[in-house]
Amino acid sequence: MDASYSLVRDNRSLSIRIAVHPDGRVVVSAPRLVPNFLIEQFVSSKKEWIKIKQEKFKMHPIHPMRLSLRKMNSKDYENNKERAFKFLSERTSFFNQHYGFRIDSISIRNQKSRWGSCSKKRNINFNYKLIFLPENMSDYVVVHELCHLKELNHSQKFWNLVRETVPDYESIRKELKKIG
């Protein structure tokens, strides 16, 4: 482990915390009144854990696209919401020419952990960040949510529907998981 770390003092903090970032940096947060020697002891006691985390990031680096998407905020959402709606509505219409499913509404959201969702009420929600992905990935998400209009599950019937228009969905799905 690299013994260096950044120290952040926080009046609201109640305990010492350590964060290991994807680039290997170590940031220690501590309450303002905790003496430095206690912080040093704590960090020293966690050296093995820190080393394991840093090695894990080296072995399995986070996809660069994931890092850039994480930095987006509500202003980015507001600036791109209309563009995302236009693009994703067009892609949905394009693929729905094949499927012919009834869609009641399409919404664009700023979701943290989902690319899309589909409800029993036939409403499809898409994450606006899809417009920043390669087109084959955003198309896969569009088709995935469209197919949920017929199969609200991930059964073999569902995947067979997806395969009709995205035959290489499995490899795209793996790539998408790397991004997050």
DSSP track, 3-40: ---EEEEETT--S-EEEE-TTS-EEEEEETTS-HHHHH
Written as tens digits, the pLDDT of the chain (180 aa) is: 456 899 999 888 889 999 888 778 899 999 999 999 999 999 999 999 999 988 887 776 555 555 556 667 778 888 889 999 999 999 999 999 999 999 999 999 998 889 999 999 999 999 999 988 889 999 999 999 999 999 999 999 999 999 999 999 999 999 888 777
Please give the Cα distance from 141 to 176 (Å, whole number): 9
Please give the Cα distance from 48 to 97 (Å, whole number): 56
Whether the CB-CB separation of 36 and 42 falls below 8 Å is answered with no
Predicted TM-score (pTM) of the model is 0.65
Domains and CATH numbers, the chain: 6-61 (no CATH), 65-179 (3.30.2010.10)
Distances (CA, A) of 29 to 23, 107, 171: 18, 39, 40
133-160 burial, b at 16+ Cβ within 10 Å, e below that, comes to: beeebbbbbbbbbbbbbebeeeeeebee
